[in-house]
Structure 1
Protein backbone atom coordinates (compact mmCIF):
# COMPACT_ATOMS: atom_id res chain seq x y z
CA UNK A 1 0.00 0.00 0.00
CA UNK A 2 1.28 3.48 -0.85
CA UNK A 3 2.32 5.72 2.03
CA UNK A 4 0.28 8.80 2.86
CA UNK A 5 2.31 11.70 4.21
CA UNK A 6 1.34 15.05 2.67
CA UNK A 7 -1.07 15.50 -0.21
CA UNK A 8 -1.68 18.71 -2.13
CA UNK A 9 -4.32 18.41 -4.79
CA UNK A 10 -7.62 19.44 -6.30
CA UNK A 11 -10.63 18.79 -4.09
CA UNK A 12 -14.00 17.93 -5.57
CA UNK A 13 -17.00 19.41 -3.70
CA UNK A 14 -19.75 16.83 -3.06
CA UNK A 15 -22.15 18.46 -0.57
CA UNK A 16 -24.72 15.66 -0.79
CA UNK A 17 -25.35 13.98 2.59
CA UNK A 18 -25.56 10.20 3.12
CA UNK A 19 -23.47 9.23 0.10
CA UNK A 20 -23.69 5.47 0.56
CA UNK A 21 -21.50 2.66 -0.69
CA UNK A 22 -23.98 1.71 -3.42
CA UNK A 23 -23.67 5.23 -4.81
CA UNK A 24 -19.87 5.02 -4.57
CA UNK A 25 -19.73 1.66 -6.40
CA UNK A 26 -23.07 0.12 -7.45
CA UNK A 27 -23.71 -3.54 -6.63
CA UNK A 28 -23.33 -4.81 -10.22
CA UNK A 29 -19.60 -4.05 -10.05
CA UNK A 30 -18.94 -6.14 -6.94
CA UNK A 31 -18.23 -9.38 -8.81
CA UNK A 32 -14.50 -8.78 -9.01
CA UNK A 33 -11.96 -9.37 -6.27
CA UNK A 34 -9.40 -7.22 -8.09
CA UNK A 35 -8.65 -3.86 -6.50
CA UNK A 36 -7.85 -2.24 -9.84
CA UNK A 37 -10.22 -1.26 -12.63
CA UNK A 38 -13.09 -0.03 -10.47
CA UNK A 39 -12.26 3.67 -10.84
CA UNK A 40 -14.11 3.88 -14.14
CA UNK A 41 -17.30 2.85 -12.33
CA UNK A 42 -16.89 5.14 -9.32
CA UNK A 43 -20.23 6.92 -8.74
CA UNK A 44 -21.39 5.12 -11.90
CA UNK A 45 -25.07 6.02 -11.69
CA UNK A 46 -24.23 9.65 -10.93
CA UNK A 47 -21.53 9.94 -13.63
CA UNK A 48 -23.19 8.22 -16.59
CA UNK A 49 -26.48 8.15 -18.44
CA UNK A 50 -28.05 4.74 -19.23
CA UNK A 51 -26.45 4.89 -22.70
CA UNK A 52 -22.98 5.26 -21.15
CA UNK A 53 -22.53 8.94 -21.96
CA UNK A 54 -21.26 11.25 -19.25
CA UNK A 55 -23.59 13.43 -17.20
CA UNK A 56 -21.89 16.84 -17.65
CA UNK A 57 -23.15 18.33 -14.38
CA UNK A 58 -21.62 15.64 -12.18
CA UNK A 59 -18.58 17.10 -10.43
CA UNK A 60 -16.03 14.45 -11.44
CA UNK A 61 -17.03 14.86 -15.10
CA UNK A 62 -16.22 18.56 -15.02
CA UNK A 63 -12.78 19.47 -16.44
CA UNK A 64 -11.60 21.11 -13.22
CA UNK A 65 -12.18 17.96 -11.16
CA UNK A 66 -11.28 15.07 -13.44
CA UNK A 67 -7.93 14.73 -11.66
CA UNK A 68 -9.29 15.35 -8.16
CA UNK A 69 -7.44 13.55 -5.36
CA UNK A 70 -9.60 14.83 -2.51
CA UNK A 71 -13.36 14.83 -1.95
CA UNK A 72 -15.04 17.28 0.40
CA UNK A 73 -18.35 15.63 1.21
CA UNK A 74 -21.58 16.06 3.15
CA UNK A 75 -22.41 14.26 6.40
CA UNK A 76 -22.31 10.49 6.86
CA UNK A 77 -20.11 9.57 3.90
CA UNK A 78 -19.80 5.84 3.15
CA UNK A 79 -22.97 4.70 4.88
CA UNK A 80 -25.00 1.73 3.68
CA UNK A 81 -23.84 -1.81 3.09
CA UNK A 82 -20.33 -2.95 3.95
CA UNK A 83 -18.23 -3.29 0.80
CA UNK A 84 -14.47 -2.88 0.54
CA UNK A 85 -14.98 -2.21 -3.17
CA UNK A 86 -15.98 1.36 -2.21
CA UNK A 87 -12.48 2.46 -1.11
CA UNK A 88 -11.00 0.34 -3.91
CA UNK A 89 -13.00 2.36 -6.47
CA UNK A 90 -12.07 5.69 -4.88
CA UNK A 91 -8.39 4.80 -4.81
CA UNK A 92 -8.39 3.46 -8.37
CA UNK A 93 -9.90 6.75 -9.56
CA UNK A 94 -7.15 8.64 -7.73
CA UNK A 95 -8.89 9.77 -4.53
CA UNK A 96 -6.49 9.62 -1.54
CA UNK A 97 -8.48 11.68 0.98
CA UNK A 98 -12.14 12.24 1.83
CA UNK A 99 -13.12 15.08 4.16
CA UNK A 100 -16.49 15.09 5.92
CA UNK A 101 -18.14 15.78 9.25
CA UNK A 102 -18.80 12.06 9.74
CA UNK A 103 -18.27 8.63 8.18
CA UNK A 104 -19.87 5.22 8.50
CA UNK A 105 -17.63 3.14 10.80
CA UNK A 106 -16.91 0.21 8.46
CA UNK A 107 -16.15 2.47 5.50
CA UNK A 108 -13.95 4.66 7.71
CA UNK A 109 -11.84 1.71 8.82
CA UNK A 110 -11.68 0.23 5.32
CA UNK A 111 -10.22 3.51 4.03
CA UNK A 112 -7.18 3.23 6.30
CA UNK A 113 -6.61 -0.37 5.20
CA UNK A 114 -6.51 0.75 1.57
CA UNK A 115 -4.36 3.88 1.73
CA UNK A 116 -7.11 6.49 1.88
CA UNK A 117 -7.22 9.09 4.66
CA UNK A 118 -10.75 9.90 5.90
CA UNK A 119 -10.65 13.24 7.72
CA UNK A 120 -13.37 14.26 10.19
CA UNK A 121 -13.74 18.01 10.69
CA UNK A 122 -16.38 20.24 12.31
CA UNK A 123 -19.22 21.48 10.07
CA UNK A 124 -17.81 25.02 9.82
CA UNK A 125 -14.41 23.71 8.65
CA UNK A 126 -16.00 21.40 6.08
CA UNK A 127 -18.19 24.28 4.85
CA UNK A 128 -15.10 26.48 4.40
CA UNK A 129 -13.24 23.75 2.50
CA UNK A 130 -16.34 23.01 0.42
CA UNK A 131 -16.49 26.64 -0.63
CA UNK A 132 -12.76 26.57 -1.37
CA UNK A 133 -13.16 23.44 -3.48
CA UNK A 134 -15.83 25.13 -5.59
CA UNK A 135 -13.11 27.40 -6.96
CA UNK A 136 -11.91 24.55 -9.15
CA UNK A 137 -8.46 23.41 -10.21
CA UNK A 138 -6.75 26.60 -9.03
CA UNK A 139 -7.86 25.98 -5.43
CA UNK A 140 -5.61 23.27 -4.06
CA UNK A 141 -6.03 21.81 -0.61
CA UNK A 142 -3.11 20.42 1.41
CA UNK A 143 -3.60 17.50 3.76
CA UNK A 144 -0.70 16.91 6.16
CA UNK A 145 -1.09 13.64 8.04
CA UNK A 146 2.05 14.03 10.14
CA UNK A 147 0.87 17.36 11.55
CA UNK A 148 -2.82 16.44 11.27
CA UNK A 149 -3.89 19.56 9.41
CA UNK A 150 -5.91 20.43 6.33
CA UNK A 151 -5.04 23.77 4.74
CA UNK A 152 -7.21 25.46 2.15
CA UNK A 153 -5.98 27.60 -0.73
CA UNK A 154 -6.82 30.64 1.38
CA UNK A 155 -4.18 29.59 3.92
CA UNK A 156 -6.64 28.70 6.67
CA UNK A 157 -5.60 25.55 8.51
CA UNK A 158 -7.90 23.05 10.23
CA UNK A 159 -6.62 20.47 12.73
CA UNK A 160 -8.05 16.96 12.78
CA UNK A 161 -7.78 13.94 15.07
CA UNK A 162 -6.68 10.49 13.97
CA UNK A 163 -6.01 7.25 15.83
CA UNK A 164 -2.22 6.95 16.39
CA UNK A 165 -2.09 3.35 15.17
CA UNK A 166 -4.04 4.13 11.99
CA UNK A 167 -1.81 7.16 11.45
CA UNK A 168 1.32 4.98 11.81
CA UNK A 169 -0.03 2.51 9.26
CA UNK A 170 -0.83 5.18 6.67
CA UNK A 171 2.44 7.06 7.14
CA UNK A 172 4.36 3.82 6.60
CA UNK A 173 2.13 2.29 3.94
CA UNK A 174 1.16 -0.69 6.09
CA UNK A 175 -1.97 -2.68 5.37
CA UNK A 176 -2.80 -5.90 7.26
CA UNK A 177 -0.26 -7.87 5.22
CA UNK A 178 2.38 -5.21 5.71
CA UNK A 179 1.81 -5.25 9.46
CA UNK A 180 2.28 -9.02 9.48
CA UNK A 181 5.47 -8.77 7.44
CA UNK A 182 6.90 -6.38 10.05
CA UNK A 183 6.97 -9.43 12.33
CA UNK A 184 8.51 -11.78 9.76
CA UNK A 185 11.68 -12.36 11.80
CA UNK A 186 9.67 -13.37 14.86
CA UNK A 187 7.42 -15.56 12.71
CA UNK A 188 10.41 -17.29 11.10
CA UNK A 189 12.02 -17.81 14.50
CA UNK A 190 8.85 -19.34 15.87
CA UNK A 191 8.43 -21.62 12.85
CA UNK A 192 12.04 -22.82 13.12
CA UNK A 193 11.71 -23.49 16.85
CA UNK A 194 8.38 -25.26 16.37
CA UNK A 195 9.79 -27.50 13.61
CA UNK A 196 12.73 -28.49 15.84
CA UNK A 197 10.76 -29.03 19.04
CA UNK A 198 7.76 -30.75 17.40
CA UNK A 199 9.00 -32.41 14.22
CA UNK A 200 5.96 -34.67 14.16
CA UNK A 201 3.59 -31.75 13.58
Structure 2
Protein backbone atom coordinates (compact mmCIF):
# COMPACT_ATOMS: atom_id res chain seq x y z
CA UNK A 1 0.00 0.00 0.00
CA UNK A 2 1.10 3.56 -0.64
CA UNK A 3 0.67 6.92 0.96
CA UNK A 4 -2.77 8.20 -0.05
CA UNK A 5 -3.39 11.93 -0.30
CA UNK A 6 -6.92 13.30 -0.41
CA UNK A 7 -7.68 16.77 -1.69
CA UNK A 8 -11.30 17.86 -1.57
CA UNK A 9 -13.79 20.59 -2.27
CA UNK A 10 -15.46 21.98 0.83
CA UNK A 11 -18.67 20.06 1.52
CA UNK A 12 -17.83 17.16 -0.78
CA UNK A 13 -17.32 14.72 2.09
CA UNK A 14 -13.60 14.27 1.53
CA UNK A 15 -12.70 14.33 5.21
CA UNK A 16 -15.40 11.77 6.05
CA UNK A 17 -14.22 9.59 3.18
CA UNK A 18 -10.64 9.72 4.44
CA UNK A 19 -11.63 8.77 7.99
CA UNK A 20 -13.91 5.92 6.91
CA UNK A 21 -11.29 4.63 4.48
CA UNK A 22 -8.67 4.76 7.21
CA UNK A 23 -10.89 2.68 9.51
CA UNK A 24 -11.75 0.20 6.75
CA UNK A 25 -8.15 -0.34 5.69
CA UNK A 26 -6.60 -0.14 9.14
CA UNK A 27 -4.07 2.53 8.22
CA UNK A 28 -3.15 5.79 9.92
CA UNK A 29 -5.08 8.96 9.10
CA UNK A 30 -3.61 12.47 9.31
CA UNK A 31 -5.62 15.66 9.15
CA UNK A 32 -5.77 18.11 12.06
CA UNK A 33 -3.07 16.04 13.76
CA UNK A 34 -0.62 17.81 11.46
CA UNK A 35 -1.63 21.21 12.83
CA UNK A 36 -1.27 19.89 16.38
CA UNK A 37 2.27 18.69 15.66
CA UNK A 38 3.26 22.02 14.11
CA UNK A 39 1.83 23.95 17.07
CA UNK A 40 3.60 21.77 19.62
CA UNK A 41 6.97 21.91 17.88
CA UNK A 42 6.84 25.66 17.28
CA UNK A 43 5.27 26.71 20.56
CA UNK A 44 2.25 28.23 18.82
CA UNK A 45 -1.40 28.07 19.78
CA UNK A 46 -3.12 25.53 17.54
CA UNK A 47 -5.89 27.98 16.58
CA UNK A 48 -3.28 30.42 15.29
CA UNK A 49 -1.63 27.72 13.20
CA UNK A 50 -4.99 26.65 11.77
CA UNK A 51 -6.10 30.19 10.96
CA UNK A 52 -2.80 31.04 9.27
CA UNK A 53 -2.59 27.87 7.18
CA UNK A 54 -6.27 27.21 6.48
CA UNK A 55 -8.08 30.52 6.36
CA UNK A 56 -7.80 33.58 4.11
CA UNK A 57 -4.65 34.98 5.71
CA UNK A 58 -2.37 34.07 2.81
CA UNK A 59 -4.83 35.48 0.28
CA UNK A 60 -3.71 38.95 1.36
CA UNK A 61 -0.47 38.39 -0.52
CA UNK A 62 -0.33 38.30 -4.35
CA UNK A 63 1.70 35.13 -4.78
CA UNK A 64 3.68 34.01 -7.77
CA UNK A 65 4.26 30.37 -8.58
CA UNK A 66 7.40 28.94 -7.05
CA UNK A 67 8.69 26.56 -4.43
CA UNK A 68 10.53 29.26 -2.51
CA UNK A 69 7.35 31.10 -1.46
CA UNK A 70 8.32 34.09 -3.62
CA UNK A 71 5.72 36.83 -3.97
CA UNK A 72 5.30 40.47 -4.83
CA UNK A 73 4.99 41.36 -1.15
CA UNK A 74 6.96 39.16 1.25
CA UNK A 75 4.91 36.85 3.44
CA UNK A 76 5.51 37.63 7.15
CA UNK A 77 8.25 35.47 8.59
CA UNK A 78 5.95 33.65 11.02
CA UNK A 79 3.67 32.55 8.18
CA UNK A 80 6.66 31.42 6.14
CA UNK A 81 7.95 29.48 9.15
CA UNK A 82 4.58 27.73 9.46
CA UNK A 83 4.56 26.80 5.78
CA UNK A 84 8.03 25.33 6.11
CA UNK A 85 7.08 23.54 9.34
CA UNK A 86 4.05 22.01 7.65
CA UNK A 87 6.17 20.83 4.72
CA UNK A 88 8.74 19.30 7.09
CA UNK A 89 6.00 17.61 9.12
CA UNK A 90 4.56 16.01 5.98
CA UNK A 91 7.99 14.82 4.88
CA UNK A 92 8.60 13.38 8.35
CA UNK A 93 5.29 11.47 8.17
CA UNK A 94 6.21 10.11 4.73
CA UNK A 95 9.59 8.91 5.97
CA UNK A 96 8.04 7.09 8.92
CA UNK A 97 4.84 5.68 7.34
CA UNK A 98 4.82 3.42 4.32
CA UNK A 99 1.01 3.48 4.37
CA UNK A 100 -1.20 6.32 5.57
CA UNK A 101 -3.90 8.74 4.47
CA UNK A 102 -3.22 12.48 4.51
CA UNK A 103 -6.00 15.01 4.01
CA UNK A 104 -5.22 18.32 2.30
CA UNK A 105 -2.09 20.37 3.12
CA UNK A 106 -0.93 20.10 -0.52
CA UNK A 107 0.49 16.72 0.47
CA UNK A 108 0.04 15.43 -3.08
CA UNK A 109 2.57 18.03 -4.29
CA UNK A 110 4.89 18.20 -1.30
CA UNK A 111 5.28 14.41 -1.22
CA UNK A 112 5.61 13.96 -4.98
CA UNK A 113 8.96 12.18 -4.58
CA UNK A 114 7.18 9.48 -2.54
CA UNK A 115 4.75 8.86 -5.42
CA UNK A 116 1.55 8.98 -3.35
CA UNK A 117 -1.79 7.87 -4.72
CA UNK A 118 -3.53 11.21 -5.22
CA UNK A 119 -7.30 11.44 -4.82
CA UNK A 120 -9.55 14.43 -5.40
CA UNK A 121 -13.09 14.47 -3.99
CA UNK A 122 -15.67 16.83 -5.48
CA UNK A 123 -19.41 17.25 -5.93
CA UNK A 124 -22.00 19.49 -7.52
CA UNK A 125 -22.74 22.64 -5.56
CA UNK A 126 -26.25 21.62 -4.51
CA UNK A 127 -25.01 18.30 -3.13
CA UNK A 128 -22.28 20.05 -1.16
CA UNK A 129 -24.78 22.56 0.16
CA UNK A 130 -27.10 19.79 1.31
CA UNK A 131 -24.28 17.96 3.06
CA UNK A 132 -23.28 21.14 4.89
CA UNK A 133 -26.88 21.89 5.89
CA UNK A 134 -27.25 18.41 7.38
CA UNK A 135 -24.33 18.95 9.73
CA UNK A 136 -24.97 22.63 10.52
CA UNK A 137 -25.81 23.18 14.20
CA UNK A 138 -26.54 26.92 14.18
CA UNK A 139 -30.19 27.52 13.18
CA UNK A 140 -29.34 31.10 12.18
CA UNK A 141 -27.05 29.92 9.37
CA UNK A 142 -28.64 30.37 5.95
CA UNK A 143 -27.99 28.66 2.63
CA UNK A 144 -26.36 31.88 1.42
CA UNK A 145 -24.02 31.83 4.42
CA UNK A 146 -22.94 28.29 3.61
CA UNK A 147 -22.48 29.00 -0.09
CA UNK A 148 -20.28 31.98 0.74
CA UNK A 149 -18.24 29.82 3.12
CA UNK A 150 -17.87 27.06 0.51
CA UNK A 151 -16.60 29.48 -2.12
CA UNK A 152 -14.31 31.31 0.30
CA UNK A 153 -12.67 28.13 1.57
CA UNK A 154 -12.21 26.62 -1.88
CA UNK A 155 -10.71 29.91 -3.09
CA UNK A 156 -8.28 29.79 -0.18
CA UNK A 157 -7.37 26.18 -0.98
CA UNK A 158 -6.70 27.04 -4.63
CA UNK A 159 -4.55 30.01 -3.61
CA UNK A 160 -2.62 27.90 -1.10
CA UNK A 161 -2.05 25.20 -3.73
CA UNK A 162 -0.36 27.77 -5.98
CA UNK A 163 2.37 28.17 -3.36
CA UNK A 164 3.57 24.66 -4.15
CA UNK A 165 2.37 23.68 -7.61
CA UNK A 166 2.58 25.03 -11.13
CA UNK A 167 -0.81 23.53 -11.97
CA UNK A 168 -4.20 24.46 -10.56
CA UNK A 169 -5.92 22.93 -7.57
CA UNK A 170 -8.71 20.58 -8.63
CA UNK A 171 -7.45 20.00 -12.17
CA UNK A 172 -7.94 16.35 -13.03
CA UNK A 173 -4.43 16.04 -14.47
CA UNK A 174 -3.01 16.43 -10.95
CA UNK A 175 -4.69 13.33 -9.52
CA UNK A 176 -4.76 9.58 -9.97
CA UNK A 177 -8.46 9.28 -9.15
CA UNK A 178 -11.24 11.88 -8.97
CA UNK A 179 -14.36 10.92 -7.00
CA UNK A 180 -17.72 12.62 -7.51
CA UNK A 181 -19.86 12.27 -4.37
CA UNK A 182 -22.91 14.04 -5.81
CA UNK A 183 -25.22 11.05 -6.16
CA UNK A 184 -23.67 8.53 -3.78
CA UNK A 185 -23.13 8.30 -0.03
CA UNK A 186 -19.65 8.13 1.46
CA UNK A 187 -20.55 4.78 3.06
CA UNK A 188 -21.23 3.35 -0.38
CA UNK A 189 -17.97 4.62 -1.84
CA UNK A 190 -15.61 3.30 0.84
CA UNK A 191 -15.88 -0.48 0.13
CA UNK A 192 -15.48 0.13 -3.60
CA UNK A 193 -12.50 2.40 -3.06
CA UNK A 194 -10.93 -0.04 -0.61
CA UNK A 195 -11.19 -2.84 -3.17
CA UNK A 196 -9.69 -0.65 -5.85
CA UNK A 197 -6.75 0.40 -3.66
CA UNK A 198 -6.03 -3.11 -2.47
CA UNK A 199 -5.97 -4.30 -6.07
CA UNK A 200 -3.24 -1.90 -7.14
Largest Rg, 1 or 2: 1
Could you state the TM-score of these two structures normalised by the residue count of structure 1? Answer: 0.26
Q: TM-score, normalised by structure 2?
A: 0.26
Larger helix proportion, structure 1 or 2? 2
Tell me which of the two structures has the higher relative contact order, counting C-alpha pairs closer than 8 angstroms and 6 or more residues apart: 2
Q: Determine which structure has the larger strand proportion and give its number.
A: 1
